[in-house]
Copies of this chain bind each other. A is one copy, B any other.
């Protein structure tokens, strides 16, 4: 629920910039990442055609490149949810106002962000309908109807949908009026089981960030001030971005019996007694696309890890020699047989340089240029997007070497991100040191905190750094709060956040 700290461009300015069309991007160019990361970020997203501004304030259009990445993420999460026996469903978009107000803390958390339908079929509605900001209330009204006995538990349902939150300042992927996500909601007979579910979901999120998006994920629990409205405990995966700011990757909540008591999700337990269900909810959103852009992109544009790249290898035949194009298509077919996603760029009237820039901008992991010389010698030079490295490969065995190369790239991108994160992680024992690090390089700071919200607030006011999480693997460490000097037991992770 934080405001973004980046300045966003006004829509009209960026729109008029994008108006000039896709064929001129290399003339316009991308603002260097080091110069202005915020401008760089929107330039990359718009010019790579991942997404675009829309005529609706704060809403964006997910173009094929951006949406394809989202579909790979969906598939990876669906696979993991299936193993946990979570089933996909769909619940209504519009929620009667009276339902939303049932859980007090929950409605207070969302009240300022609601979009409200007051007219339907030409008539003023007797009861307003809220465009869902999240689906706890509508889902739990149904859970109360469906759950009666311990035999009905656990109930584990997920939905992939769109939600609307009236954000004042919006930012591609990271903060939008409307975003896409999955929200899973589970109900259990026992708290140890629901807590296990909270952690299993968090593991799945960390896996998808690390194994697909090649971004290291720090798992932890949120402080009381930072937790989800209505949850007993919120767990999170926190990501470090190259500019030293943290990004909350996804959250998984232990809802305890808060909602089951408000919504009367009661069941007869094995002893024949009435009990309230123990609930969890967890969500992963298109925010992750923003993390992907920030973590790996460079001055040439987007850099996609192979596992989420809709095109993994682009082959550019040099010139419009029919034989070369045929060679390229044969290579494409051979690579597709071993599961590589390939595009042959046969567009006419564009220079090789133009095509190189275009595919670099779109973040394609491997580029292969095929000319007469390559066909004659039997060796082609490939360019690796994330490192800029070039290698000469035997054309006859590309279907063996390229799949391995893609795995290698996936691993190397993660390693690079992990090194960056380590370089951006500090442990401090005084508030002076805390402020110095936060001024000089930001990043994650591990510091002892007494867990008094007053210190947390002061630190944030003075350094813009909030508590990101208490890492799940944090050991008890008796010492003094970095801010007030009172006794503290754990090192929390602080950072400025997106």
* Residues of chain A having any CB pair with chain B under 8 Å: 18-19, 21-23, 52, 54-56, 59-64, 67-68, 70-71, 87-96, 99, 111-122, 128-129, 131, 138, 141-142, 145-146, 148-149, 151-152, 157, 161-162, 164, 166, 168, 177-178, 180, 347
The answer to whether A162 and B161 have CB atoms under 8 Å apart is yes
Partner of A92, one of B60, B64, B121, B151: B60
Chain B residue with the shortest CB-CB distance to A21: B148
The answer to whether B60 and A180 have CB atoms under 8 Å apart is no
The answer to whether B54 and A138 have CB atoms under 8 Å apart is yes
Question: Would you call the interface of chain A mostly helix, strand, loop, or mixed?
Answer: mixed
Residue of A18, A96, A141, A146 with most partner-chain B CB within 10 A: A146
The answer to whether A178 and B94 have CB atoms under 8 Å apart is yes
Residues A180 and B90 in contact in the complex (CB < 8 Å), given A112-B122, A121-B114, A162-B161 = yes
CB distance from A285 to the nearest CB of B (A): 13
Chain B residue with the shortest CB-CB distance to A87: B64
Q: Could you write out 25 A-B pairs with CB less than 8 Å apart?
A: A21-B146, A21-B148, A23-B151, A52-B145, A54-B91, A54-B138, A55-B141, A55-B142, A56-B96, A61-B90, A61-B91, A61-B142, A62-B91, A67-B88, A70-B90, A92-B178, A93-B93, A111-B122, A112-B122, A114-B122, A116-B117, A116-B118, A116-B119, A119-B128, A121-B166
Chain B residue with the shortest CB-CB distance to A139: B61
User: How far apart are the CA atoms of A98 and B235 in the complex, in Å?
Assistant: 43
Partner of A118, one of B21, B64, B119, B141: B119
Contacts of A347 in B (CB 8 A): 151
Partner of A117, one of B52, B55, B117, B157: B117
Chain B residue with the shortest CB-CB distance to A350: B151
User: How far apart are the CA atoms of A113 and B19 in the complex, in Å?
Assistant: 33
The answer to whether B162 and A93 have CB atoms under 8 Å apart is yes
How many chain copies? 2
Chain B residue with the shortest CB-CB distance to A142: B61
Contacts of A62 in B (CB 8 A): 89-91
User: How far apart are the CA atoms of A141 and B96 in the complex, in Å?
Assistant: 32
User: How far apart are the CA atoms of A23 and B147 in the complex, in Å?
Assistant: 11
Residues A129 and B115 in contact in the complex (CB < 8 Å), given A89-B62, A157-B64, A162-B93 = yes
Contacts of A87 in B (CB 8 A): 64, 67-68
Contacts of A91 in B (CB 8 A): 54, 61-62
Residues A117 and B141 in contact in the complex (CB < 8 Å), given A92-B178, A180-B90 = no
The answer to whether A117 and B131 have CB atoms under 8 Å apart is yes
Residue of A67, A70, A162 with most partner-chain B CB within 10 A: A67
Partner of A94, one of B19, B52, B151, B164: B164
Chain B residue with the shortest CB-CB distance to A20: B148
Chain B residue with the shortest CB-CB distance to A78: B71
The answer to whether A67 and B96 have CB atoms under 8 Å apart is no
The answer to whether B89 and A55 have CB atoms under 8 Å apart is no
User: How far apart are the CA atoms of A93 and B61 in the complex, in Å?
Assistant: 10
Contacts of A92 in B (CB 8 A): 54, 56, 59-61, 178
The answer to whether B131 and A55 have CB atoms under 8 Å apart is no
User: How far apart are the CA atoms of A149 and B21 in the complex, in Å?
Assistant: 10
Contacts of A166 in B (CB 8 A): 120-122
Contacts of A148 in B (CB 8 A): 21, 23
Residue of A90, A115, A145, A162 with most partner-chain B CB within 10 A: A90
User: How far apart are the CA atoms of A118 and B90 in the complex, in Å?
Assistant: 25
The answer to whether A120 and B115 have CB atoms under 8 Å apart is yes
Contacts of A60 in B (CB 8 A): 92
User: How far apart are the CA atoms of A426 and B22 in the complex, in Å?
Assistant: 55
Contacts of A18 in B (CB 8 A): 145
Instruction: Report, nearest first, the 9 A-B pairs whose CB atoms are least far apart.
Output: A121-B166, A59-B92, A64-B87, A116-B119, A62-B90, A56-B92, A120-B166, A118-B118, A115-B120
The answer to whether A121 and B131 have CB atoms under 8 Å apart is no
User: How far apart are the CA atoms of A71 and B157 in the complex, in Å?
Assistant: 15
User: How far apart are the CA atoms of A180 and B55 in the complex, in Å?
Assistant: 23
CB distance from A147 to the nearest CB of B (A): 9
The answer to whether A55 and B88 have CB atoms under 8 Å apart is no
Contacts of A115 in B (CB 8 A): 94, 117, 119-121, 129
Residue of A18, A89, A178 with most partner-chain B CB within 10 A: A89
